[in-house]
Amino acid sequence: MFNNYKQLIASKIKAPLSTAELESLITETADDAFGDYAFPCFKLARVMRMSPVQIAQKLAAEVELDEHIVKVEAVNGYLNFFVNRLELTWDIISDVFAARGLYGNSDIGAGKTVCIDYSSVNICKSFHIGHLSTTAIGSALYKIYTALGYNVVGINHLGDYGTQFGKMIVAFKLWGDREVAEREGVAELQRLYVKFHQEEPSNPQLTEQARAWFARIEKGDPEAQELFEFFKRVTLDEVMKIYRRLNVKFDSWNGESFFNDKMDKPLQMLRDKGLITESQGAQIVDLSEYGMPPCLLVKSDGSSLYATRDIAAAIWRKREYDFDKCLYVVAYQQNLHFKQFFKVLELAGFDWAKDLVHVAFGMVSLEDGAMSTRKGNVVLLKDVIDKAVAKAGEIIADKNPNLPNRDKVAEQVGVGAVLFSALESSRIKDIVFSYDRVLNFDGETSPYLQYTCARCNSILEKVGDYKASKVVGDYRALDDPETLRLVKLIGAFPQAVQDAAAKYEPSIISALLIDIAQAFNRFYIVRRVISDNLAEQNARLQVVDATASVLKRGLALLGIEAPDKM
């Protein structure tokens, strides 16, 4: 029933508009005192030649009430409708239970494919806090689209191509050691790379050697290839540990180097279409007409660029996956790059260029001023997670010293706090990361959501299996403002999941979960859940149960686990 209230209300308004038009004007009220749904009469003033106030009064008098729509009021040019609130409450709660832990899932994406390019780490480079947002947002979108029935392809477009790998080989052969690299990981590779740059000015031969090695990588020389694969493995071993902790997964690891032999055809095609011009020996696509600098595709020495690979990758992905959308979850610093190569593909006549979306996000910095990208001052994501987990452990030890599985819960809370910091507000905003803020159990944080969820569980556990009790819940006990507010927010969850997907904005879910948790805590303070009246108690326990279920599901879509106990 509950999903059809708007439709039902529209059918009861006797105004000169189609039912569909009427329905589209109906909104949910912000304040329950003014009913549950409102219809503004302002648009009708011209056609009906009356003031909105008069129209509202006239239409209100004509509405036929029934057992679903129980009251209508005309207020300041609005028609305010009151639905059967117990019915609404019960419909939402039964929807949650019927979904068996997967509330919000749907099949609106059935038959459609979405590619999500996210995290996309760079080989031989550290995985730093600058990668947090792409990883958290991309992974959340992966889970959200999957829940909506889409076929999702998660792509880690590895940064595994470039002249720096020639330098790495030279440095490694001169000063490196396999055992040390295995043990120390990327930190050791970075040390060698820095040493190369320190030595280079006084030893120009190094530059030559690096160039030669890079050429050997490109030619597929076995020794060069083997060393490159070694660096790649050392880097990925480290990165995989973090992905495992964050519960992040990929279906494809085809990165930049995968396209080494896949650029000639696209380039030839662009030439054939007359899009490429020569400029000082380089090959470019002139985009001045679109207010952009040229897109550089081949350097004067014949080598390809980041954009060349992205063009080849997009064409390859379209052919391989036939995507309906291809998302690139990448920082806004790369805005121009995406605009440029999307434009080139559009000019080349690919109508699917419109389905490429740059899902941009802001920068992360730490409270103490440490930036994500500045050289020599990188803050490793692993260190941030470790520190958050350690702090979460201290808080838990303090709050609940006898908690079983304390380490596991600390990990779930710490990891959740870090992930949520990148998912809590609209993605384009810059973030200043603060441990105290993200771990505040009373703030608008992941620990707060987890804690509320655990609280629901402990209430349910205290009373035993309420569903097995012979006493049927008395839903009249749910007729109060606090329950209504909470249940309506729960009822908004499925739409929030769809909006999050449509706007590539997991924060829509985050914000709703915070509202739900706050509404629950208010409900729990004001309404007595545990009571002598078992029928009332059982009805309220269902609200608690549904709250736990939706919080857990929402957190899962954000990639965050909800511990049973906290």
Binding site for ligand ARG (CB under 6 A): 117, 120, 122, 157, 159, 310, 328, 330
**Least Cβ distance, residue 347 to ligand ARG (angstroms):** 19
Contact 535, 382 (CB under 8 A): no
CB of 345 vs ligand ARG, minimal distance in Å = 13
Given a contact cutoff of 8 angstroms between Cβ atoms, the answer to whether 416 and 445 are in contact is no
Amino acid at 145: Y
- β-pairing, 113-117 with 78-83? unpaired
By the 8 A CB rule, do 554 and 493 touch? yes
User: Nearer Cβ to ligand ARG, position 120 or 257?
Assistant: 120
Q: Are 500 and 506 in contact (CB under 8 A)?
A: yes
Query: Which phi-psi region, left, alpha or beta, contains residue 119 (left: φ > 0; alpha: ψ -120 to 50)?
Result: left
- Between residues 330 and 439, which has the closer beta carbon with respect to ligand ARG? 330
* CA 63/CA 71 separation, integer angstroms: 9
**For ligand ARG, which is the closer residue by CB, 116 or 513?**
116
Quick one: 35 or 159, whose CB is closer to ligand ARG?
A: 159
Nearest approach, Cβ of 68 to ligand ARG (angstroms)? 50
Beta carbon nearer to ligand ARG, 161 or 475: 161
Provide the minimum distance between the beta carbon of 119 and ligand ARG in the complex, in angstroms, as a whole number.
Answer: 8
We find the least distance from the C-beta atom of residue 365 to ligand ARG, in angstroms, to be 17
The residue (of 120 and 446) whose beta carbon lies closer to ligand ARG is 120
Cβ atoms 335, 364 nearer than 8 A:
no
CA torsion angle 301 306 308 312 (round to 10): 140
Burial (CB count <10 Å: 0-12, 13-18, 19+), residue 327: buried
Closest approach of Cβ 190 to ligand ARG, in Å?
15
Collapsing DSSP states into helix, strand and coil, what is residue 108?
coil
Residue 368 C-alpha from the chain's centroid: 26
d(CA 256, CA 261): 11
Smallest distance, ligand ARG to C-beta of residue 328, A? 5
CB nearer ligand ARG, residue 117 or residue 515? 117
**Rounded to whole angstroms, how far apart are CA atoms 547 and 316?**
44
Does residue 72 contact residue 65 with C-beta atoms inside 8 Å?
yes
- The residue (of 257 and 498) whose beta carbon lies closer to ligand ARG is 257
Minimum gap (Å) between residue 125 Cβ and ligand ARG: 8
Token couple for 13: 């308004």
Q: In the complex with ligand ARG, which residue's Cβ is closer, 152 or 508?
A: 152
Q: How far is the CB of 120 from ligand ARG (least distance, A)?
A: 4
Q: Report the residue number, 158 or 224, with the smaller CB distance to ligand ARG.
A: 158
At 530, the amino acid letter reads I
CA angle 77, 80, 81 (to 5 degrees): 150
Query: Residues near 339 by Cβ (< 8 Å), separated by ≥ 6?
Result: 292, 358
User: How far is residue 437's CA from residue 421's CA, in Å, rounded to a whole number?
Assistant: 9
Distance CA 278, CA 187 (A): 41
With beta carbons less than 8 A apart as the criterion, state whether 507 and 421 touch.
no
Nearer to ligand ARG among residue 117 and residue 188 (C-beta): 117
**205 token code pair:** 């031969």
Enter the tokens of residue 512: 């709703």
> Cβ of residue 472: shortest distance to ligand ARG, in angstroms?
55
- 161: Cβ contacts below 8 Å, ≥ 6 apart: 255, 256, 257, 260, 309
Instruction: Kindly tell me which of 143 and 157 has the beta carbon lying closer to ligand ARG.
Output: 157
Is the backbone of residue 215 left (phi > 0), alpha (psi -120 to 50) or beta? alpha
Least distance between ligand ARG and beta carbon 333 (Å)? 8
Based on CB atoms, which residue is closest to ligand ARG, 338 or 448?
338
Q: Could you tell me the smallest distance in angstroms from the CB atom of residue 334 to ligand ARG?
A: 7
Provide the minimum distance between the beta carbon of 307 and ligand ARG in the complex, in angstroms, as a whole number: 9
Cα(184)–Cα(172) distance, integer angstroms: 14
Burial class (CB in 10 A: 0-12, 13-18, 19+), 334: middle
User: To the nearest whole angstrom, how small is the minimum distance from the Cβ of residue 71 to ligand ARG?
Assistant: 54
CA-to-CA distance for 42 and 144, rounded, in angstroms? 37
Residue with Cβ nearer ligand ARG (36 or 310): 310
Contact indicator for 338, 328 with CB cutoff of 8 Å: yes
